[in-house]
């Protein structure tokens, strides 16, 4: 019989990967705890064998989204003022004025931003969000649930969803400890902090410093460094299939050495198909010279386009498509459910690839966990689908400043350099791996396989208070 009930507030399927498929969930019994997913998503978690309480009425106050959008803009303005660095402008999404409704919304957000771009104004917006959400039926239903269930803690799987504000406020108002996990390595400079909780779980000391810099109202003792559970799968040898079995399952040729091209979504990288063509052409030329190399293409799980279809047909000798095993509930990015099978697939894909080629992806750390190098593409296509898109902006983002040196990856600055990067990797040139490992250690607390254990230790301490 468990002695405490842990509510995992789940606003999207990605949190299930970190806290349902990893050692975190497996260790609940060892920690005398019962995990219940407080589920805002449309995913039926009972089908996966998890205990859940569905939230069916996550309806915001009509003004909350306006305040939240203004808060993001104000934070960018204040960050620019604090740092004298205009890079934060690059995180802004353009306002829409194509309909009367969108024009009114954009106008109101701009007005709030203009009148609240001070520290005092930011405090006022934060208070307005909380005041608005406390007026909702959603908040009062959350109070009723919490009063009935009496959890020891409410733990939110990421900090960026506005739909988590009401239940977290309800928990705080009842004196139930609250915590949130900072979901990704690039989130804090992007002003994605929506929730305010008693505790904040972060990947590393580096991320802790970021959190305290961007949100000075948070006290150091509220921030707990744990690492991210998402990397644990790479250190579980039980996940690895024999090479022959993995190749057979995915139509790979055992005589070839494979590199992996990991794609982005259409917005993040509209020219991904052209980059894949460049890589396929380089491999075709290398094979004509006596090499035997293949490409594993893993698309972004939220890319529903058919933009790669003609490439997979034209370069069928070079490219093998290994589709992520995610379950789509709809075409919205936040309604895609990762599966346990995909964790196993991905871990094997990394293990049996010689090199990752991608554009600025955190997948570099997954490959580093398997002692495999990464190459970052760093050139624009001559004919771009979106003329305003610039690959160099990608690497100017704040999270890339965490690199210990430029030697963490192979840089590919034009299509002619692709072949050299591939040959370096397949010839076992691992000169970048020491620097990549330093980067991984800076970004994520090590040993990475102990993240869930550190999270549980922290939760147990919180529940004692």
- Complete domains list, the chain, with CATH: 4-59+136-228+449-464 (3.40.50.2000), 64-132 (no CATH), 236-443 (3.40.50.2000)
Using a 10 angstrom Cβ sphere, with 0-12 exposed, 13-18 middle and 19 or more buried, the burial of residue 435 is: middle
Strands 326-328, 336-338: parallel, antiparallel or unpaired by DSSP? antiparallel
DSSP element (H, E) containing 203: none
Q: Please confirm whether the linkage preceding 447 is cis (ω < 30° from 0).
A: yes
The answer to whether the beta carbons of residues 165 and 135 sit under 8 Å apart is no
Half-sphere exposure of 9 (CA within 13 A, CB side): 31
Per DSSP, the three-state class of 355 is strand
CA distance 133 to 129: 6
Using a 10 angstrom Cβ sphere, with 0-12 exposed, 13-18 middle and 19 or more buried, the burial of residue 89 is: exposed
Q: What is the pLDDT of residue 42?
A: 86
Which among 136, 117, 125, 130 has a CA at the least distance from the CA of 169?
130
Tokens of 459: 């939760």
CA distance 180 to 182: 7
In tens digits, what is the pLDDT along the chain, a chain of 465 residues?
Answer: 568 999 999 999 889 999 999 999 999 989 999 999 999 998 889 988 999 999 988 999 999 999 999 999 999 999 999 999 999 999 998 898 989 989 999 999 999 999 999 999 999 999 999 999 999 999 999 999 999 999 999 999 999 999 999 999 999 999 999 999 999 999 999 999 999 999 999 999 999 999 999 999 999 999 999 999 999 999 999 999 999 999 999 999 999 999 999 999 898 899 999 999 999 999 999 999 999 999 999 999 888 889 999 999 999 999 999 999 998 776 666 678 889 999 999 999 999 999 999 999 999 999 999 999 999 999 999 999 888 899 999 999 999 999 999 999 999 999 999 999 999 888 876 668 999 999 999 999 999 999 999 999 999 999 987
CA distance 190 to 156: 19
Q: How many CB atoms lie within 10 A of CB 288?
A: 8
CA distance 69 to 49: 36
The answer to whether the beta carbons of residues 326 and 288 sit under 8 Å apart is no
Tokens of 151: 């959890």
Per DSSP, the three-state class of 87 is helix
CA–CA distance from 147 to each of 33, 36, 46, 88, 151 (Å)? 18, 15, 23, 41, 9
Using a 10 angstrom Cβ sphere, with 0-12 exposed, 13-18 middle and 19 or more buried, the burial of residue 407 is: middle
Helix locations, 291-432, DSSP H = 309-314, 340-351, 363-369, 391-394, 418-426
Q: What is the pLDDT of residue 429?
A: 65
Residues 289, 354, 376: CA angle, nearest 5 degrees: 95
* Nearby residues of 135 by Cβ (< 8 Å), 6 or more positions away: 61
Tokens of 154: 């409410």
Strands 153-156, 355-358: parallel, antiparallel or unpaired by DSSP? unpaired
In the chain the first and final C-alpha atoms are separated, in Å, by: 21
Q: 113 phi and psi, to 5 degrees?
A: -65, -45
């Amino acid at each position: 019989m468990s002695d405490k009930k842990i509510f995992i507030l789940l606003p999207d399927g990605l949190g299930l990967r970190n806290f349902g498929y990893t050692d975190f969930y497996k260790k609940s019994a060892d920690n005398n705890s019962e995990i219940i997913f407080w589920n805002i998503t449309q995913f039926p978690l009972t089908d996966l064998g998890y205990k859940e309480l569905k939230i069916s009425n996550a309806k915001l106050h009509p003004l909350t989204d306006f305040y939240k959008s203004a808060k993001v803009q104000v934070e960018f303005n204040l960050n620019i003022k604090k740092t004298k660095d205009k890079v934060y402008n690059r995180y802004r999404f353009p306002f829409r004025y194509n309909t009367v409704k969108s024009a009114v919304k954009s106008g109101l957000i701009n007005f709030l931003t203009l009148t609240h771009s001070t520290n005092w104004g930011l405090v006022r917006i934060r208070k307005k969000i909380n005041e608005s959400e406390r007026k909702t039926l959603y908040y009062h239903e959350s109070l009723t649930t919490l009063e009935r269930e009496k959890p020891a803690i409410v733990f939110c799987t990421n900090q960026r969803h506005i739909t988590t504000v009401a239940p977290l406020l309800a928990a705080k108002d009842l004196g139930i400890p609250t915590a949130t996990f900072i979901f990704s390595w690039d989130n804090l400079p992007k002003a994605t902090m929506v929730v305010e909780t008693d505790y904040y779980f972060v990947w590393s000391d580096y991320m802790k410093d970021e959190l305290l810099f961007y949100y000075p109202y948070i006290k150091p003792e509220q921030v707990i460094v744990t690492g991210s559970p998402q990397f644990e799968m790479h250190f579980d040898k039980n996940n690895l299939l024999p090479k022959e079995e993995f190749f057979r399952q995915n139509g790979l040729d055992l005589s070839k050495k494979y590199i992996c091209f990991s794609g982005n979504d259409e917005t993040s990288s509209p020219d991904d198909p052209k980059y894949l063509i460049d890589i396929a052409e380089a491999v075709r030329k290398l094979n004509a010279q006596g090499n035997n190399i293949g490409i594993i293409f893993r698309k972004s799980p939220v890319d529903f386009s058919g933009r790669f279809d003609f490439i997979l047909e034209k370069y069928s000798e070079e490219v093998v498509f290994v589709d992520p095993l995610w379950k789509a509930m709809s075409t919205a990015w936040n309604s895609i459910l990762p599966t346990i099978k995909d964790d196993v697939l991905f871990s094997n894909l990394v293990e049996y690839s010689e090199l990752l080629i991608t554009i600025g992806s955190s997948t570099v750390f997954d490959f580093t966990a398997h002692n495999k190098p990464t190459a970052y593409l760093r050139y624009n296509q001559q004919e771009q689908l979106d003329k305003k898109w610039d690959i160099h902006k990608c690497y100017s983002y704040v999270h890339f400043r965490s690199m210990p040196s430029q030697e963490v990856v192979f840089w590919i600055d034009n299509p002619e350099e692709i072949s050299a990067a591939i040959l370096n990797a397949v010839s076992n040139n691992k000169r970048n791996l020491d620097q990549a490992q330093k980067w991984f250690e800076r970004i994520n607390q090590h040993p990475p396989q102990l993240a869930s254990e550190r999270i549980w230790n922290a939760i147990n301490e919180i529940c004692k208070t």
